[in-house]
Amino acid sequence: MQALESFKRQITPPKKIVITTHPKPDADALGSSLGMANYLIKKGNDVTVITPTDYPSFLNWMKGHEDVINFEDKNLKPLALKKISEAEIIICLDFSNLSRINELGEIIGKSKAYKVVIDHHQDPEDFADFMYWSTKAAATCELIYDLIVKIGDQELIDKDIAECLYAGIMTDTGGFKHPNTTKNVHLVTAELIELGADNCKIARLIYDTNSVNRLKFIGFALSRRLVILQELKTAYFSINKKDLRKYASQTGDTEGLVNYALSLDGIKIAALFTEREDGIKISFRSTEDVVINKFAAEYFNGGGHKNAAGGKSDLPLPETLEKFETLIKENKETLFNQLEFIHEKS
């Protein structure tokens, strides 16, 4: 409670605040950032949201998105650096390890600003002055709502803020389908609807707004890029650079693809390997009885949640797939019987 009081004092306006989140922000990352930004602006603060990369265009409706600074944009980087150097408070949302945001993390690590982490991922790094963190929360947006209510500012949550927060909870629960869809999730989203969030509009904007290229890309991936290892209860997609070019792939176009692999009967582990400019990006998903984030952390320099994690590989795509298949075979017992990974002695 003392920590909450100190946080409340810190955000007393006027303060210069920078908010950041993880690379390729999803609806929870951007929704929590803009939800928090709009709330803090309403209180009278000067707030800048800086994202480490761009984000999908289907999030472009959130209030304040046009003011977001993409750190990868060379023209905007000097402004981002100025805002960080002037910041009195830096708030990190939906991630909790500075190494995840590369150069931006190094700069934030060196800053003397009061640092805040609000997150629901496992194994957070201990660098913040105030941490509001729980792996029981389905989404960072759920934590932001909780925090604003605890501060006593619920009346400041308007339609715009409610819609940002609703979006993050909706997507991080997989549209209220995943096991993290708790009673609290329904209570909070009910409140957000009461506060003005148009839930049908948000679902349509996020799930039902496709480009022709994206739909054709999904069809292509399903028919040509899906590998099913039935005996290993595993299925994965591998998408190479040429595929991405052929379908003029935009940020966000591969989002959700991995779930088709997990929807197959008898499949408990699904993965999506995407060959990007800076290496292979991997998305892992698993059914409720399989823990996948430890596998991602152990072998693919990643992490995340029990049933939804991510990682990367610097090997070429074919070698990455070979490595993945070998590791699934080797760790079959561990993965499907919920055992701890055995660390090799070096």
| Residues at the contact surface with ligand 5GP, assessed by CB under 6 A | 22, 100, 283, 302-305, 308-312
Asked whether position 28 contacts Mn ion by CB under 5 A, the answer is yes
- Rounded least distance, CB 44 to ligand 5GP, Å: 31
Nearer to Mn ion, 15 or 23 (CB): 23
* 305 contact, one of ligand 5GP, Mn ion, none, CB 5-8 Å limit per kind: ligand 5GP
Nearer to Mn ion, 94 or 160 (CB): 94
Nearer to ligand 5GP, 56 or 311 (CB): 311
Strand 269-276, strand 234-239: pairing:
parallel
Nearer to Mn ion, 163 or 172 (CB): 172
- Rounded least distance, CB 252 to ligand 5GP, Å: 11
Nearer to Mn ion, 94 or 253 (CB): 94
- Cα 289 to its chain centre, rounded Å, is 22
Nearest residue to Mn ion by CB is 28
Of residues 73-112, which lie at the interface with Mn ion (CB under 5 A)?
94
- Rounded least distance, CB 285 to Mn ion, Å: 14
- Rounded least distance, CB 256 to ligand 5GP, Å: 9
Single-letter code of the amino acid located at 191: E
Asked whether position 119 contacts Mn ion by CB under 5 A, the answer is no
Q: Which long-range contacts (CB under 8 A, 24 or more apart) does 237-242 make?
A: 237/261, 237/271, 237/272, 237/273, 238/273, 238/275, 238/317, 238/321, 239/272, 239/273, 239/274, 239/275, 240/275, 240/317, 241/275, 241/276
What backbone torsions phi and psi does residue 49 show, to the nearest 5 degrees?
A: -100, 125
Nearer to ligand 5GP, 52 or 302 (CB): 302
- Could you tell me the sign of the dihedral formed by the alpha carbons of 39, 41, 46, 50, in that order? positive
Nearest residue to ligand 5GP by CB is 310
Name the one range near Mn ion by CB under 5 A: 21-29, 62-70, 264-272, 294-302.
Answer: 21-29
Name the one range near Mn ion by CB under 5 A: 139-147, 265-273, 275-283, 313-321.
Answer: 139-147
Nearer to ligand 5GP, 196 or 279 (CB): 279
DSSP 54-112: ---GGGTTSTTGGG-EETT-TTTHHHHHHHHHH-SEEEEES---GGGGHHHHHHHHH--
β-strand partners of 239: 274
- Rounded least distance, CB 301 to ligand 5GP, Å: 7
- Alpha carbons within 13 angstroms on the beta-carbon side of residue 54 total 10
Size of the site for Mn ion (CB under 5 A): 4
Distance CA 317, CA 322 (A): 9
- Rounded least distance, CB 188 to ligand 5GP, Å: 19
- Rounded least distance, CB 43 to ligand 5GP, Å: 28
Coil vs helix vs strand at 204: helix
Coil vs helix vs strand at 13: coil
What backbone torsions phi and psi does residue 10 show, to the nearest 5 degrees?
A: -60, -40
Nearer to Mn ion, 171 or 238 (CB): 171
Q: What letters, b where the CB count within 10 A reaches 16 and e where it falls short, cover 69-97?
A: bbbeeeeebeebeebbeebbbbbbbbbbb
Report the residue from 172, 243, 253, 298 that binds Mn ion according to the rule CB under 5 A.
172
Tokens coding 88? 């009195």
Interface residue list for Mn ion (CB under 5 A): 28, 94, 140, 172
